[in-house]
Amino acid sequence: MIDFSSGPIVRNILAYTFPLLLGNLFQQLYNAADTLIVGNFLGSDALAAVSSSSSLIFMMVGFFNGMAVGAGVVISRAYGAKDMDRTERAICSDIAFGVAAGIAITVFAVLFTRHILVWISTPQSILPLSASYFRIYSAGIFFSVMYNVLMGIMNALGDSRHPLYYLVISSLINIVLDLLFVGGFGWGVWSAALATVISQAVSSLLCLVRLLRGEGGIRIRKIAVDKNELRSIIHFGLPSGLQNSIVGFANTVIQASVNTFPAVAIAGFGVYSKIEGFVLLPITSFSLTLTTFVAQCAGSRNPDRARKGAGEGLAMCIIAAECVGALLYILAPYAVSLFTSDPAVVDYGTRQARLEAFFYFLVAISHGCAGILRGAGKAFVPMLVMLSAWCAARVLLVRTALFFIHDITIIYAAYPITWTISSIVFIVYLRKARWLLQ
């Protein structure tokens, strides 16, 4: 357990971020395992089928992930103020909300699987494969929602180690089951989704057991909704949830544009998205750390410490992003080749990786500033910035440019352009909002 309201700032940030980074790494591993194993065992069409579902999955789960971040702010503030009774009420309300929301999204996704895939222009050649994968994944999406809720609670309490342990276990389970179901039994692309669902169920159960036993002096006695705490969770979480969902929706629209290109281009785009998930891990980990750090300092009424930690954490985030980006530029062809032996797919994935690699510092600025603002209770600002730049501007740019020139490079370039826009806005806002953490 790490108390960000006291102790050395840099050491605490790194001590919290490192297990969080490893945990996110293993989460990304089991997300990528489907793509990697399907691509190697079942070929490019199956790989494209899995890739075409990725943006849909993010769109559906993203809202609840954002709500979990908002709940983490409420829990971190209560925990930072040493108000254990309120902390317990917030945790119980968060879990109850997650259960209800997880059931609702599962039912919706299963019922409308094929309609959603048709809506995003999934090519007819891979539609049956995409539908079989997405339907199985959707049937278990409840566990994905609950894992993110429970992990967010543990992180808010300053515990980033146990989520790491549980992710290691679930990642290994997913990889073993992927190899067994796809490579051993030859069950097809749907079985990769089944392996993911089982592994997510295991990680959710482990997190729940840990919390029920008592985490950081907090023992959950009854899962019930406290109206005031739920209201606070919605207040802090809704902007982040809406942001994730609408960004996911924008990515789905972008995916529809990608789906107008050949299957090898769709597969290359999907492979890069999996690789990018690994590359962005230091950024997202530092961003989550900054949210928890600032929220705990705000709860303990220590604005000077919050400002200092925010600046130092953001600097570390930017440095880490550029180091990983430079490494990706060098290793891009080899990284893409892990997922497929098709030279055309490798070429598409490598082109996108090398075009975007040196712009990750912009992602670090955007995510880092967003994390600081959420911890300070200003979640509406990053939501507005991200929706304007990463959704509206990106979709408008891609759709307009592709109307005149049907070249997938336009889609690749849209990302660093919109990262630049959001970074500039965040920097200007934070420089002017000196009152933010007072």
Identify the weakest region by mean pLDDT among 33-37, 305-309, 326-330, 410-414: 33-37
State how far the Cα of 436 lies from the Cα of 244, in Å rounded to an integer: 23
**160-171 mean pLDDT:** 83
State how far the Cα of 252 lies from the Cα of 117, in Å rounded to an integer: 10
State how far the Cα of 97 lies from the Cα of 150, in Å rounded to an integer: 11
Sign of CA dihedral 78, 83, 84, 90: negative
**149-153 mean pLDDT:** 87
CA distances from 5 to 159, 299, 315 (A): 15, 8, 20
CB 371 within 8 A of CB 290: yes
State how far the Cα of 255 lies from the Cα of 409, in Å rounded to an integer: 14
State how far the Cα of 427 lies from the Cα of 370, in Å rounded to an integer: 11
Residue 349 confidence (pLDDT): 93
Higher pLDDT among residues 118 and 146, named by residue: 146
- In tens, the pLDDT along 250-264 reads 877 888 899 889 888
**137-158 mean pLDDT:** 86
* Res 215 pLDDT > 80: no
Residue 77 confidence (pLDDT): 80
State how far the Cα of 90 lies from the Cα of 80, in Å rounded to an integer: 13
CB 262 within 8 A of CB 343: no
The pLDDT confidence band at residue 221, using thresholds 50, 70 and 90, is low
Helix (H, G, I), strand (E, B) or coil at 174: helix
Residue 388 confidence (pLDDT): 92
* Res 128 pLDDT > 90: no
- In tens, the pLDDT along 83-119 reads 888 888 888 888 888 898 889 889 988 888 888 888 7
Residue 249 confidence (pLDDT): 77
Residue 201 confidence (pLDDT): 93
Helix (H, G, I), strand (E, B) or coil at 92: helix
Identify the weakest region by mean pLDDT among 35-39, 207-211, 339-343: 35-39
Residue 1 confidence (pLDDT): 63
- Closest listed residue to residue 26, CA positions, set 244, 174, 152, 148: 174
Question: Alpha carbon 394 to chain centroid distance?
Answer: 19
**330-340 mean pLDDT:** 90
- In tens, the pLDDT along 349-400 reads 999 999 999 899 999 999 999 999 988 888 888 889 988 998 899 999 999 9
Higher pLDDT among residues 247 and 269, named by residue: 269
Residue 164 confidence (pLDDT): 78
Residue 394 confidence (pLDDT): 93
* Res 436 pLDDT > 60: no
Q: What percent of the chain has pLDDT over 90?
A: 26
Higher pLDDT among residues 77 and 137, named by residue: 137
**139-145 mean pLDDT:** 90
Sign of CA dihedral 379, 380, 383, 385: negative
Helix (H, G, I), strand (E, B) or coil at 218: strand
